[in-house]
Amino acid sequence: RKEVEQDPGPFNVPEGATVAFNCTYSNSASQSFFWYRQDCRKEPKLLMSVYSSGNEDGRFTAQLNRASQYISLLIRDSKLSDSATYLCVVNERGFQKLVFGTGTRLLVSP
Amino acid sequence: NAGVTQTPKFQVLKTGQSMTLQCAQDMNHEYMSWYRQDPGMGLRLIHYSVGAGITDQGEVPNGYNVSRSTTEDFPLRLLSAAPSQTSVYFCASSYRRTANTGELFFGEGSRLTVL
């Protein structure tokens, strides 16, 4: 079993749609969680941290379920510019153990 | 606003050749690291450094060397390139405190092909 698993997609959605991605992690001792965004042939960029109580940043909402060991990202009112690959990242024990998922690809069409 | 700068952006090598990927950051970050990204796999940590003069191995260090003589620079050396080292390499940096939680700033990447 992979340490961090994501559905690779692609998720094809029209502009304005709401889309959700899930990510599961295997290590119950994982300490911190993130969503990164990576555009095609570009570097990953931090999108948002994921807090235990859930958190929102504009159209983006992140949730953490420690009991079930999954993280979710909800994007409301999708824009063309949201087309990218979204990487789930889990920190198991400090910077020497930051585990990246393989990413979920989102394609938003007009 | 330079951030993390990697050079070269593209490189083609022959098997057995050596080369150095350069990484520089101007944010006074203590933590710097090198990752490789391959299709179907998440980014994997090669080497990292928590400050000048301090380096350590990550998940996939074989075939690579690093050094950290200054806070700003963290070069990655391929000793004898192999086709398995064909990949996209990313340098990342952060303050040590935020690196410990996972908030990293990445360079634009270096695409390496080994023939």
Q: What is the pLDDT of residues A85-109, one digit of tens each?
A: 999 999 877 656 788 999 999 999 9
Q: Which residues in chain A have their CB less than 8 angstroms from residue B108's CB?
A: 42-43
User: What is the per-residue DSSP string for chain A?
Assistant: --SEEE---PEEEETT--EEEEEEES-TT--EEEEEEE-TTS-EEEEEEE-TT-EEETTEEEEEETTTTEEEEEE-S--GGG-EEEEEEEESSSGGGEEE---EEEEEE-
The verdict on A110 touching B (C-beta cutoff 8 Å) is: no
Tell me the pLDDT tens digit for each residue of B83-94: 999 999 999 999
Q: pLDDT for B34-78, tens place per residue?
A: 999 998 888 999 999 999 999 999 989 999 999 999 999 999 999
Tell me if chain A has a CB within 8 Å of the CB of B91.
no
Give the Cα separation of A90 and B23 in Å (integer).
25
Mean pLDDT within A41-54: 92
Burial class (CB in 10 A: 0-12, 13-18, 19+), A110: exposed
Q: Of B3-7, B17-21, B41-45, B89-93, give the lowest mean pLDDT range.
A: B41-45
